[in-house]
Structure 1
Amino acid sequence: MKKNKSTQVHTIFQKIAPSYDKMNTIISLGTHQSWRKQATALAKLRPNSNILDVCCGTGDWTVALAQQINHKGHVTGLDFSDSMLAVAKEKIAKYQLDEKASLLQGDAMQLPFDDNKFDIVTIGFGLRNVANALVTLQEMFRVLKPGGQLICLETSQPTAPVIRQGWELYFGHIVPLLGKTLVNEKKEYTYLTDSTHNFVNYKQLASMFWQVGLKHVYYHRIMFGAAAIHTGIKP
């Protein structure tokens, strides 16, 4: 099943890469960039930080992080979809960040890096799409330096009953219709909304952070619980 999910997700992201940024802005009502800014504000960034952005997709967070460091720092964006990475490559070139950012195609569950390599490891809107979220967190923990920080920005589920009902209606019915109407990709956007519904809640994700060995685990819910930022430190 895990292999099937990996194949399914890879196929989906290969297909939606050209429209992903447009649809992400529409679906999140333009808020996804502000969510990344909030997550970045929680990062213990130094000018020379060595950062890994896992499941970097079209590179928005990779670019934002690279803009916060100097030429002695570096951000590596990793994703398994070459189509998504092609979009990210264009952004890195557009913002002239070639010296501070690089891209690599790879598997989040088998990171191609030595232990204790990075000061900060991030993952934005990617953990719910990997075949095994716990294994991915273990790999992110492995490549962190002692004292390094792991940051996860992910969609989540509101808990207030009225807001939850509106959220269910929007993500369960409206988003797939937007995918069909705007980019003729209803099936793909049905999967993406289902992945949000089926992923662990914010408390369970915090427990997974503790489980892999992270300390000082902290979470911050945003937009009435529609998304959450989790952070932890490797001892």
Structure 2
Amino acid sequence: MESNIYSPEYVKGLFNRMSSSYERMNYITSFGFSIRWRTQFLNSFKPTNQNVKIIDLLTGMGETWQATKHKFPNSNLTVLDFSEGMLKYAKQKNKEKFKEQITVLQQDILQNELPSNHFDFVTCAFGLKTFNLEQLNILALETKRILKIGGQFSFIEVSKPNNNVLKFFYGFYLGKIIPILGKILLGNPEEYKMLWKYTDKFENAKDATEIFANQGLKTKYVSYFYGCATGLNGQKISK
């Protein structure tokens, strides 16, 4: 049902079903920009060789790990997702490419067991669209809770472009072409139709930026490539 598309059970099932092809499809749906964006959204962080604590929320298959480790080579990286389908591939990547040095947790960020005031950095790429406003408020609260004072965060999400012509073609591409590719890869286009439905409802990260700011986090709205992706970054400045 339409009203249930934000329920954790629905979202988890959706990504479990898409897990075998999601990394390729994420690259295709972003016209190949997803790799670049996963690096760009970390630009608000200064690189360091120190042993900082980082958590990557809604980590999926671990597509952001390489960029994170490049910026923070000696970091203690923890990653979290509630989709066992996605984490199956993430754990394989951890073993094959990262010598199992990454701590992989299967938890729901909205109901998690993470320690308070613990992390120096919180990252999250392409997960915001699957939250409604109430859930975004919980996400903001949890981000603030788990960050140390002075800790920083950065989120990014595929969005509806500002330019009307670009918005039309982007919507047609995500809403019509991507489901066809989904059918070729999965035999079922419905899962990939949902990606556009989430993006269409999300629009951009402006609401999320306001919600994070309202929770007392120093927050900045960011736009990438004419609004095809948007995000927010900032810092925890007080308890």
TM-score after normalising by structure 2: 0.90
Deviation at 1:3, TM superposition (A): 8.9
Which residue of 1 is the match for residue 98 of structure 2? 96
Runs of 4+ in 1 over 4 A off after TM superposition: 1-4
Change in Cα spacing, 1:136 to 1:200, as seen in structure 2 (3 Å) is farther
Change in Cα spacing, 1:156 to 1:111, as seen in structure 2 (3 Å) is same
Deviation at 1:148, TM superposition (A): 0.5
> Could you tell me how far apart the structure 2 residues matched to 1:164 and 1:184 are?
27
Which residue of 1 is the match for residue 110 of structure 2? 109
Which residue of 2 is the match for residue 40 of structure 1? 42
Change in Cα spacing, 1:130 to 1:12, as seen in structure 2 (3 Å) is same
| Matched AA of 1:177 | I
> Could you tell me how far apart the structure 2 residues matched to 1:206 and 1:57 are?
22
- 1:72-151 alignment runs, 5 A limit: 73-99=75-101, 101-130=102-131, 132-151=135-154
1:124 and 1:153 in contact (8 A); partners too: yes
Which residue of 1 is the match for residue 155 of structure 2? 152
Alignment length (residue pairs): 232
2:21 and 2:185 in contact (8 A); partners too: no
1:6 and 1:130 in contact (8 A); partners too: no
> Could you tell me how far apart the structure 1 residues matched to 2:98 and 2:138 are?
34
1:22-46 CA distances to partner (integer Å, 9 max, x unpaired)? 1112222211000001012222343
Deviation at 1:4, TM superposition (A): 6.5
Deviation at 1:206, TM superposition (A): 1.8
1:209 and 1:232 in contact (8 A); partners too: no
TM-score after normalising by structure 1: 0.91
Q: Does 1:165 align with 2:189?
A: no
Change in Cα spacing, 1:208 to 1:200, as seen in structure 2 (3 Å) is farther
Q: Does 1:11 align with 2:13?
A: yes
1:63 and 1:92 in contact (8 A); partners too: no
1:115 and 1:143 in contact (8 A); partners too: yes
Q: 1:190 aligns with which of 171, 189, 193?
A: 193
> Could you tell me how far apart the structure 1 residues matched to 2:111 and 2:47 are?
25
1:62 and 1:76 in contact (8 A); partners too: no
2:6 and 2:131 in contact (8 A); partners too: no
> Could you tell me how far apart the structure 2 residues matched to 1:211 and 1:169 are?
34
RMSD: 1.9
> Could you tell me how far apart the structure 2 residues matched to 1:225 and 1:97 are?
36
Moved more, 132-141 or 196-205: 196-205
| Matched AA of 1:232 | G
1:179 and 1:185 in contact (8 A); partners too: yes
Q: 2:212 aligns with which of 209, 213, 218?
A: 209
Change in Cα spacing, 1:197 to 1:89, as seen in structure 2 (3 Å) is same
Task: Please state whether the residue corresponding to 1:46 is helix, strand or coil.
Answer: coil
> Could you tell me how far apart the structure 2 residues matched to 1:20 and 1:209 are?
28
Change in Cα spacing, 1:62 to 1:24, as seen in structure 2 (3 Å) is same
Change in Cα spacing, 1:76 to 1:18, as seen in structure 2 (3 Å) is same
